[in-house]
Amino acid sequence: MLAPQIEPRYDVIIIGAGISGLLMAAILSRHGHQVLVIERDVHPRFAIGESGIKETSLTLSLMGLRFEVPEIRHLSSVDHIRRFIGRSSGQKRSFSFLWHAPGEAQRPEHSVQVGSPRLPFGFDSHMFRQDIDAYLLGVAAHYGATILQGVSVNTVHVDADEVAVEIADHGTVRGRFVLDGAGYRSPLARQLNLHEQPCPFETRSRSIFNHFVGVPAYDDQVASHARCGLAQRMSYGTLHHVFRGGWLWVIPFNNAPDPVNPLCSVGALLDPEVFPATGLPPEAEWAALLARYPSVQAHLGDARPVRPWVTTPRIQFRQRQAVGHRWALLPHAVGFIDALFSRGLYATAAGVNELAGLLLGALAENNFDPARFQPYTDLIYNTLKANDRVVSTSYASWVHFDLWNAWHRVWGLGVFLESVRMVRAHARFRETGDRRWLDNRQPPPMASFPLDLPGYRALFDAAERLVKSGQDRPEAAARDIFRLLAESPVCPPSFRYGDPGQRFLDMTDPRAMAKVFWWVARRSPPEIRQFIDFRPTSLVGELVDDQLRLRWSEPRRIARL
């Protein structure tokens, strides 16, 4: 691999060529700025954060339009990824959750599912990150970014007039601004001693994971979706095995038509107070975990790992500061909660969308006052706080299936309300051509969950209290949450969320979606109804245009570096 020509000075230096750093590099370079990306590893490489959700897809689509980088929109659905990037990624049509008790076969009636709608741009994806990230690396280079791989950053020096980054074996490069997207290993956070101790989050989990071959569909190996009372095959989306103190994910990359990738991402996140570290080799700890739950063993016991195991201590962390004069940490370097509900990629996309707009303005005005980046800081810390509440309450709810059956609906309703707001932004931009809709600030950025809506916040707060105070009486707490859902003015009646026996929400059914949007437009309270101020034909137009792009647009040939 030929080494790139390194200039002595850049507008922006980005540490870390993960998805956030590469999105920033592509956007900044597309707008004429000199960008250097420094990466310790070499692409293609393994990366975590593989499961998309509708909010991620919609945010990426808005970003591609807003910053005029069409390649970002290619990440907005599995159809786009397979058309424009490659067929190594899988599809995500649903979240499926199977609750387990130790030593017992999983009871089919202890299963729930939330379907993801196909509209407006297709189903979500299971991103095979080594190919996705390698594609984005090529996109950033296509727009002019300089990419330096296989090197480490020694120090970062920031003063009033510039930043200076010392690179091992490459000397010092200077710039106007530095972004650190190296995640937990952030050299800038380490140098500035930003790591908060003790970690302030309530969620506590450690991880063990790998990529596997030979993972069968649970539907075929153990129990079908019909037997579990669900609307669609669990293998069409992300499957979660949940139990007191933790959960396992199953993310297949071979579940879309004509698959080419036999791999499946499988791993566990475990509360160390319930599952303390054993000191065993990871393969032995994995085998012991599967053996506790007979149906999980039947599902995954014969799968074969293909990579070195990854194990970590507690994964939650937070930095005390996200932005300073001439520097900023990208979202995954500021903090992290847990992979549950696949909200990490969404937080990344929403954070990059916010920060990129602010940084383009700062570069244009040559004004890097940290105060101008306050909206980004607020978004990131509010997101972490909200995600901690959602995830820690979910862990608490797993003491009993009834409690989880009730609580997961509060999460599902929040996801629906977030998505409606983003669909509105697309539709209103199509109707008006007003680019302010693309920054997703009408209303404000929503990666922190829709807790600004009074009706939803009241429901969320009350349900959270019931879960955490009801550990000794979970069935009674669950009944109270179902009552709250049945009475909540912000919950669509067609969801039947107050009925414990209604264990799936099939948002893939166009008729069900039509009922929901009719309720939002005609019967919902004003705080919800405000989001349907567009013509339904706008969404139809979006869908038609999208299908034409998929059918007739020629993929731009992006060189893989």
Domain final position from 312, 328, 356: 312
Number of domains in the chain: 3
Q: In the predicted model, is pLDDT for residue 213 greater than 60?
A: yes
Categorize the per-residue pLDDT at 441 as very low, low, confident or very high, splitting at 50, 70 and 90.
Answer: low
Q: What is the token pair recorded at 114?
A: 């939330």
Report the alpha-carbon distance of residue 362 to residue 223 in Å, rounded: 55
pLDDT in tens, 143-189: 999 999 999 999 999 999 999 999 998 899 999 999 999 999 899 99
**Same domain for 522 and 418:** yes
User: Does 108 map to a domain?
Assistant: no
Our measurement of the distance from residue 163's CA atom to the centroid of its chain's CA atoms, rounded to an integer in Å, reads 31
User: Does 466 map to a domain?
Assistant: yes
User: Does 110 map to a domain?
Assistant: no
- What is the residue-wise DSSP string for 260-310? ----EEEEEEE-TTTS----S-HHHHHHHHHHHSHHHHHHHTT-EE-S--E
CATH of the domain at 249: 3.30.9.100
Task: Tell me how far CA of residue 478 lies from CA of 230, 341, 467, in angstroms.
Answer: 21, 20, 8
pLDDT computed for residue 425 by the predictor: 86
Q: Are 485 and 409 in contact (CB under 8 A)?
A: yes
Q: In the predicted model, is pLDDT for residue 446 greater than 60?
A: no
User: Does 411 map to a domain?
Assistant: yes
**Same domain for 241 and 273:** yes
Sort strands 264-270 and 310-312 into parallel, antiparallel or unpaired.
Answer: unpaired
Report the alpha-carbon distance of residue 145 to residue 28 in Å, rounded: 9
**Same domain for 329 and 227:** no
- Selection from 522, 118, 157 nearest residue 324 by Cα: 157
Domain final position from 282, 312, 342: 312
User: Does 103 map to a domain?
Assistant: no
CATH of the domain at 175: 3.50.50.60
3-state secondary structure at position 540 = helix
Q: Which residues contact residue 519 at a Cβ distance below 8 angstroms, ignoring those fewer than 6 apart?
A: 492, 493, 494
User: Does 109 map to a domain?
Assistant: no
R_g of the chain computed on alpha carbons? 23
Domain limits at 486? 400-435+444-556
**Same domain for 506 and 479:** yes
- Selection from 328, 353, 267, 375 nearest residue 19 by Cα: 353
**Same domain for 190 and 62:** yes
**Same domain for 339 and 354:** yes
**Same domain for 540 and 496:** yes
pLDDT in tens, 233-280: 999 999 999 999 999 999 999 999 999 999 999 999 999 999 999 999
**Same domain for 76 and 12:** yes
Report the alpha-carbon distance of residue 555 to residue 353 in Å, rounded: 24
**Same domain for 349 and 301:** no
HEC readout, 180-201? ECCHHHCHHHHHCCCECCCCCC
User: Does 64 map to a domain?
Assistant: yes
pLDDT computed for residue 531 by the predictor: 85
| Residue indicated by tokens 């952030």 | 186
| Residue indicated by tokens 């050299």 | 187
pLDDT computed for residue 449 by the predictor: 81
Q: In the predicted model, is pLDDT for residue 190 greater than 70?
A: yes
**Same domain for 532 and 404:** yes
Domain final position from 259, 279, 312: 312
pLDDT in tens, 20-39: 999 999 999 999 999 999 99
**Same domain for 367 and 289:** no
Q: How confident is the model over 4-22, as a mean pLDDT?
A: 93
Q: Which residues contact residue 48 at a Cβ distance below 8 angstroms, ignoring those fewer than 6 apart?
A: 129, 209, 339
Categorize the per-residue pLDDT at 214 as very low, low, confident or very high, splitting at 50, 70 and 90.
Answer: very high
**Same domain for 76 and 64:** yes
Q: In the predicted model, is pLDDT for residue 440 greater than 70?
A: no
User: Does 36 map to a domain?
Assistant: yes
pLDDT computed for residue 552 by the predictor: 65
Backbone angles phi, psi at 352, to 5 degrees: -65, -40
| Residue indicated by tokens 């099939």 | 506
